[in-house]
Amino acid sequence: MTKVVNYISEAFEELKSNVTWPAWAEVQRLTIVVAVFSVVFALATWGVDEIFAKALAGFFNWIKA
């Protein structure tokens, strides 16, 4: 158990002393970029899914006829 506690305390010390944290303004800007990209990617995925669904439905309707 002492190894786990030692590991966690060393990890926090590493985060405090050796990590270069970005400025708050940069964090906000990058968060907005990630959110916008996520929405665009989700819409693109939805669009491709709709196109394939309609193509498959058309193909199966064509086979039925």
10-65 residue pLDDT tens: 999 999 999 999 999 999 999 999 999 999 999 999 999 999 999 999 999 999 87
Residue whose token pair is 């506690």: 5
Query: pTM of the full predicted structure?
Result: 0.66
Spatial separation of the C-alpha atoms in residues 13 and 7, rounded to whole Å: 10
Residue whose token pair is 């968060």: 31
Helix/strand/coil for 22: coil
Q: Of 40, 64, 44, whose CA–CA distance to 52 is shortest?
A: 44
Identify the pLDDT of residue 4.
Answer: 95
Identify the pLDDT of residue 39.
Answer: 98
Identify the pLDDT of residue 65.
Answer: 77
